Amino acid sequence: MSFRLKGTSLAGLAATLFPFGQSPAHEIVGNRFFPATLGIDDPGVNDELAVPTVDSFHNGDDPPVRQRDISGEFSKRITDDFAISFGSTYTFLNPTDPIAPGANGFQNLDTTFKYRVFKNPEHEFVMSVGLSVEWGGTGSEKVGAESFNRYAPNIYFGKGFGDLPDTFSWIRPVAITGQVGYSIPAENFTTTFGIDPDSGALITDTEFNPRVLNWGGTIQYSMPYLKSAVIDLGLPDFFNHLIPLVEANLQTPVANTMTSGTLTTGTINPGVIWVGNTFQFGVEALIPIDWQSGSNIGVIAQLHYYLDDIDPHGIGKPLFGGSTQPASPFPR
């Protein structure tokens, strides 16, 4: 489950257009466990619940606004390879200027339809495709929620390095994941009307809603994989549950950009995930790549439950099809 940067100005474009949605799943491919990362969606489908995800950062508005989000998402498998997730975020905006008013409210509801199309255990590779929908008008305009839908077809992939030869055994715990999406607004432009306070004349303002390439990835080093598939270093058990990682979340307007520009915005997020049998906890720093992405380093944290491990014959079972092996990252 990932966070969604939310901004109230054009300078905070990443905030309003980032449709990766909260990452709703973890995945096991061969010996490789792909955890649910906080910034981008991972490449698998499972039954999971991410509650809560919390973040705090200064967004890219001018002047900057201190933003805090609390979000949650539920993912449910319809079949073993197809899942639907639902997510919502509540945002608190606190301007750094004490005179400016703040705002609180829900962002638009997100829904993601995701299908796993390929899985190769031998090479620890998996790929899925999906469609994310942001339902316009379900959130508050006060916190930047748009009044129109956005549709984002996505490609997700994950690759572990466990198939490397013995001479590269220390690299085997490394894995990469990635996501590429194309956010398409249901309306090409938005026109607002106002009255000039001096002349009383009608004023119109048109803002073009850009189409945006959303792209990101992770590089991660799995201590559970190191112990189970490479070498047991005899470390305290706590360290054998850690997956250090670095994520990147980037957004580039690529079409209908007359009023938005084409500047790429986003964050680089170093952090760590602690993985248990039925849940995980992760925390990452949010480092903006430029001043339009944010004005300081923020933080995000998430508690994530594996419903397919907690109740594999009930809520963690696909709606159609039999029970599947619980996707625990540790031997039972």
pLDDT along the chain (332 residues), means of 10: 38 38 62 94 94 93 88 96 97 83 94 98 97 97 95 98 95 98 96 76 86 98 96 96 98 94 96 96 97 92 95 92 60 45
pTM of the model: 0.87
pLDDT of 272 reads 98
- CATH top class, domain 10-310: mainly beta
Q: What is the pLDDT of residue 60?
A: 78
Look up tokens 């984002």; give the residue. Answer: 152
Q: Among residues 267, 319, 312, which one has the least CA distance to residue 18?
A: 267
Residue 322 burial by Cβ neighbours in a 10 Å radius (0-12, 13-18, 19+): exposed
Q: Which residue matches tokens 């539920």?
A: 74
pLDDT, position 9? 39
Pairwise CA distance, residues 300 & 286, whole Å: 7
Distance CA 325, CA 332 (A): 11
What the block records as the tokens of 43 is: 């490449």
Beta strand ranges found along the chain (DSSP E): 27-29, 32-34, 48-58, 65-77, 82-95, 103-106, 109-120, 125-135, 150-160, 174-185, 189-195, 202-208, 211-221, 242-255, 265-275, 279-288, 298-306
Whether the upstream peptide bond of residue 52 has omega within 30° of 0, thus cis, is: yes
Task: Check if the beta carbon of residue 205 is closer than 8 Å to that of residue 235.
Answer: no
